[in-house]
Amino acid sequence: MTRNAKLTALVLLIAAIIVASLFLTESASEDDAAVIAEHMHSHLDRVIAIKGAVISGNLAGVYAPANWLAEHDEPRGLAKTWQPYADGMRLHARRAAEARDLRTAAVAVSEIGRYCGECHLASGLAVSFGYATPPPENLQNTFTQMQRHLWAADRLWAGLIGPSDAAWESGAKMLAGVNLSVQDITDDESLAPLVNNIVQNLREVGAEGGRAMAAERRAELYGEFLSLCASCHSLTGDGPGTT
């Protein structure tokens, strides 16, 4: 797991504890609150696992965490105000668990992320994220440009689940400007046209993301982004792991 991913997980665990306290019934005990906070952390673990599997092009890796999200029992002590978000999460988790292609799974995990963000909004919780300084834009080497791509990916995710306009907009802007060439990604000439199309589409997602204001549209674009990442990694046999 990258440093940014670990930091995001820690921030969201803290957020889960706060959200849990805001969605408790009046009769819930301190023990109930602790169980619910841990349960929400388990939600996060599975969502991150699904997202990682999609990005890596590993459809089989989607099924176990998606099934858990779709089928597990909610702990006692949750107020009814939690139900719409739980129902939305379960709906899209089932779609991920039943997905027969990576694009379907990508859309599903993006929608789960959107429900996380809507839950945070409903609870009045502002989730903030710490990220390293953006990689410089004036260095055109492959390493730096790929780091900019990864930084943009982290910011888009934070923007969706925070939710955070600032995170989303900074991620979209960077994605639109990432300067990766086909030669940076593969030396297989037979794959060059497909990879070039993916790179151009990624930039277009970034440009469109900069104009997207509604959470529904942002989730749609993030699903497209994940799908493009999965396609590229499946074609080239390269990409991040599932953690």
Using alpha carbons, list the distances in angstroms from residue 49 to 59, 66, 146.
11, 9, 22
Q: Both ends of the chain: CA-CA distance in Å?
A: 5
Burial of 62 (0-12, 13-18, 19+ CB in 10 A): buried
Model pLDDT, residue 220: 96
Picking from 89, 72, 66, the residue whose alpha carbon sits closest to that of residue 19 is 89
- Annotated domain spans of the chain: 3-236
Name the residue type at position 59: L
Distances (CA, A) of 212 to 4, 92, 157: 25, 22, 14
Question: What tokens appear for 90 in the block?
Answer: 């379960």
pLDDT of residue 185: 84
Q: Could you list the pLDDT tens digit for every one of the 243 residues in the chain? A: 444 544 444 444 444 444 545 555 555 555 655 666 676 777 888 999 999 999 989 999 999 999 999 998 776 656 667 678 888 989 999 999 999 999 999 999 999 999 988 887 877 766 666 667 787 776 777 788 888 888 999 899 999 988 999 999 999 999 998 888 888 788 888 888 998 899 999 999 999 999 999 999 999 999 999 999 999 888 887 655 433
Choose among 179, 231, 163, 169: nearest CA to 206: 169
Quick one: tokens of 76? 């006692």
**Residue in 73, 69, 72, 75 with CA at minimum distance from that of residue 51:** 69
Task: Give the Cα separation of 216 and 222 in Å (integer).
Answer: 10
Residue 78, classed as helix, strand or coil, is strand
In the chain, the largest separation of any two C-alpha atoms, in whole Å, equals: 65
